[in-house]
Amino acid sequence: MARPSFQAPKGVAEYLPPDSADFLAVRDGLSEPAIRAGYLYAEVPVFEDTTLFTRGVGESTDVVSKEMYTFDDRGGRSISLRPEGTVGVIRATIEHGLDRGQLPVKLWYSGPFFRAERPQQGRYRQFFQVGIEAIGSEDPALDAEVISVAYRGYQGLGLTQFRLDLTSLGDKNCRPQYRELLVAFLADLPLDDATRKRAALNPLRVLDDKRPEMSEMLKDAPLMKNHLCKECDDHFASVCQHLDDLKIAYTIAPKMVRGLDYYTRTTFEFVHPLLGAQSGIGGGGRYDGLMAELGGQDLSGIGFGLGIDRTLLAIRAEQGTFKTNHLDLFIVPMESEARRAALIVADSLRTAGLLVDLSFGDRGLKGAMKAADKSGAQFSLVIGESELASGALSLKEMSTGELIPATMENLSELLLARRT
């Protein structure tokens, strides 16, 4: 087979039938708990002013310094494709005054995000997420709700082997003192040049180094959880209590540091052990101070981003299955008059909520029935002159071959009653 003239860009996962049905099932499964919890949908741009990300995400992060797709538009403005969702939603909240109404503002969103990373299984340059943001309350119960929305989403999709890692990163009152302790500790270690530079920009990021030699050197490093101020310590204890009340299992991970600078206090990640190096399937945390940094009110917030691509890989790794919609009926018209009638019947059944397709063109019966079989429809229906004249129909159940008498009048009711 000849190589096609054009191919998808490197590092982009495409979802086409039949796999696209699984992708949609994951997206809908992750968003459904948010909708049930009162989160309202937000659609924001996939590109923004570059400064929004440098200020909001942090210039020292790999996301901003190495991974953003940035370009100048026709007006000479620096624009970047969004590498994550939170700062764009915060910008929209400020711009449109959502924070001037009832608090907390509770929003959910879904779509593509972009990072110029080295592609590998589970790491794509265009990836998809479902996210939520809850803005305007410091209540630890809200932290627990956000975490539970993600947790129930994974559960609802049938995942059983994921783990929730949880920690607190403190706030502006206690983190500076901890940072000084960590910098002093790191100063005495024989770090390589790259790690030393990373420590100078953000010493907390060094704690996330997975190399065995670094893990050994960092085993006695001071931990943020042991240096929280009373307010942060009480807040984290309350979050844990709420999660215990909800019977949501978690693991305290004191060295967890996520790759975005805006996180404070409650920070979490969902990990799936069957995915290898790219084991994180979603995560998030609180971002006190972010809204003020972007020019809005000094309101607290918390949110998450859940990876649709990686969640799909995790479900497949667990050999899970999806319940996806299939066609109820495939109609096979046998001549021109029947084609006119078949389109009318299909439209009527679709209006009644049924999933219906039909054979187009001048296919013979044999070819049309092959198409019916490949469609995965539960039933097929042949319409010809005799059916049009008598009004008597014969539904064929594709899995068993059983023929079921029907009429034009009771066709919709019959299909709905026998739907599997």
- Token pair of 349, please? 């059944």
d(CA 235, CA 139): 8
Bridge-based pairing of strands 264-271 and 163-168 is antiparallel
> Which domains occur in the chain, in start order?
19-170+247-317 (3.30.930.10), 329-417 (3.40.50.800)
E-strand stretches of 137-195: 163-168
Closest CA to 395 of 364, 367, 417: 417
Provide the whole-model pTM. 0.90
pLDDT value of position 16: 94
For every residue of 322-335, DSSP letters joined together read: ------SEEEEE-S
Q: Identify the pLDDT of residue 65.
A: 75
Residues 6+ apart with CB under 8 A from 99: 93, 105, 135, 136, 291, 296, 297, 299
CA 410 – CA 402 distance, rounded (Å): 18
Q: How far apart are the first and last CA of the chain?
A: 39
Output the pLDDT for position 366: 87
Question: Digits of tens for pLDDT over the chain (420 positions)?
Answer: 677 889 999 999 999 988 899 999 999 999 999 999 999 999 999 999 999 999 988 776 778 878 899 999 999 999 999 999 999 999 999 999 999 999 999 999 999 999 998 888 888 999 999 999 999 999 999 999 999 999 999 999 999 999 999 999 999 999 889 889 988 988 888 888 888 887 887 788 788 777 888 888 888 889 899 999 999 999 999 999 999 999 999 999 998 877 667 889 999 999 999 998 889 999 999 999 999 999 999 999 999 999 999 999 999 999 998 877 789 999 999 988 888 999 999 999 999 999 999 999 888 888 889 988 889 999 999 999 888 888 899 999 999 999 999 999 999 999 999 988
Q: Name the DSSP letter for residue 372.
A: H
Give the strand order in the sheet containing 70-72.
Answer: 47-49, 78-81, 70-72
Residue 4 has what pLDDT?
85
Q: How many residues does the chain have?
A: 420
Q: How far is CA 7 from CA 13, 55, 144, in A?
A: 12, 35, 43
